[in-house]
Amino acid sequence: MCLMLVTGTGSLRADWREELSSPEPGGFPPLRPMTLVYQCGWSGLSAGQVDVEFLRPSPNICVLEAKAMTTGLARALWRLDAMHVARANVSRMRPLSLRQTEIYHYQTIRTEVDFDEAGVDRLRKSTADKNPARRKRYDFPNLFDLQTALLYVRSQKLQTGQIYRIVVFPATTPYLATITVLGRERIKVKAGTYPAIKVDLKLEKVTSDMKLEPHGKFKRATGWLSDDEDRLPLRMNAQIFVGSVWAELEKVE
Instruction: Say if residues 3 and 146 touch (Cβ distance below 8 Å).
Output: yes
| pLDDT score at 130 | 87
Asked if 119 and 138 count as a contact pair (C-beta separation under 8 A), the reply is yes
pLDDT at 14: 54
pLDDT (mean) for 237-243: 83
pLDDT at 61 over 80: yes
For residue range 6-46, what is the model confidence (pLDDT) as tens digits?
A: 333 334 445 899 999 999 999 999 999 999 999 999 877 89
User: What are the boundaries of each domain within the chain?
Assistant: 10-252
pLDDT for the residue 11: 40
| Residue 4 pLDDT level (bands cut at 50, 70, 90) | very low
The whole-angstrom separation of Cα 109 and Cα 179 is 30
Phi (first) and psi of residue 153, to 5 degrees:
-60, -45
The per-residue DSSP string of 130-147 comes to -SPP--EEEE-TT-B-HH
pLDDT tens digits, residue range 113-171? 999 999 999 999 999 998 888 899 999 999 999 999 999 999 999 999 999 999 999 99
For residue 238, the model assigns a pLDDT of: 92
pTM: 0.90
State the amino acid at position 136 in one-letter form. Answer: K
* Average pLDDT score over residue span 195-217: 93
Band the pLDDT of 239: cuts 50, 70, 90. Answer: confident
pLDDT digits (tens, 9 = 90+) for 71-123: 998 888 889 999 999 999 999 999 999 999 999 999 999 999 999 999 999 99
Q: Is the pLDDT of residue 246 over 80?
A: yes
* Average of per-residue pLDDT values in the chain: 92
Pairing verdict, β 212-214 and 218-226:
unpaired
| Residue partners of 95: CB distance under 8 A and separation at least 6 | 86, 87, 88, 115, 143, 144, 145, 147, 148, 169
